[in-house]
Amino acid sequence: MTTLVDLQAMIERFGGSLIIGEFSRDLEAPFNRDVGLDYSDKIIYAKHSNVAPTAVIHEMGHVFASDQEPFVCDEVAFLGWEYALSQEVGLVKEFKEEISKSYNFGWDMLQTLTTLEEIYPSIEMKTHVRGQLNTGWVKTIRANHLSDSLQSRVLGHLLTQCEIKGLVKNGKPIAIR
């Protein structure tokens, strides 16, 4: 099982650092107060050693795979990088559980990979979601509405996008900053 200490070694190889312990509240991540970030100094904070490794992997994505400041970046842009890293350290199952809890995927991207029928086999549900998408107010589908195999396909697509952008080489995540 991959621990924070394993990730710490990886973070150091990437040129950053992981500090496990209390940290200043103004460094807290917006969606998870157990982790924090100093983007310019490449420091990731985890409040204690039981913090989920997937939470640290996400912060690693911010620090090493995004050239945009955390509060203005596109959170999905480096998701394929996080997926590649999760594969490398054997945390794909945990990573997908995390994605299911907290991500929405844009329908523009999803419809290049699947159909509404595949996501919502029931006609009622498909019609309901189609109606929402047609209003223009709703542009995304919740990740937990995707089957496991469809989620793998979406994440595989995002990983390929990261390869094209040079964030992943030969399936391995690399640090771009």
Residue 58 beta carbon to Zn ion: minimum distance, rounded to whole angstroms? 6
Helix (H) or strand (E) holding 153: helix 148-164
Instruction: Pick the closest to residue 53 from 21, 12, 86 (CA basis).
Output: 86
Which span (33-41, 69-77, 104-112, 157-165) binds Zn ion, by CB under 5 A?
Answer: 69-77
Nearest residue (CB) to Zn ion, 67 versus 148: 67
Residue 39 beta carbon to Zn ion: minimum distance, rounded to whole angstroms? 11
Residue 112 beta carbon to Zn ion: minimum distance, rounded to whole angstroms? 24
Within 79-138, the residues that bind Zn ion by CB under 5 A are none
Which span (37-45, 70-78, 83-91, 116-124) binds Zn ion, by CB under 5 A?
Answer: 70-78
Q: Which residue is nearest to Zn ion (CB)?
A: 75
Nearest residue (CB) to Zn ion, 100 versus 114: 100
Within 71-90, the residues that bind Zn ion by CB under 5 A are 75
Which span (68-76, 100-108, 119-127, 128-136) binds Zn ion, by CB under 5 A?
Answer: 68-76
Q: Answer whether 99's CB lies under 8 Å from 151's CB.
A: yes
- Identify the residue whose tokens are 């990573």: 95
For residue 93, CA distances in Å to 31, 98, 139 come to 21, 9, 27
Within 3-62, the residues that bind Zn ion by CB under 5 A are none
For residue 93, the tally of other CB atoms under 10 A from its CB is: 11
- SS3 state of residue 154: helix
Q: Which residues of 10-48 are buried (b: 16+ CB within 10 A; e: fewer)?
A: bbeebebebebeebeeeebbeebeebbbbbeebbbbbbe
Nearest residue (CB) to Zn ion, 75 versus 88: 75
**Contacting positions for Zn ion (CB under 5 A):** 75
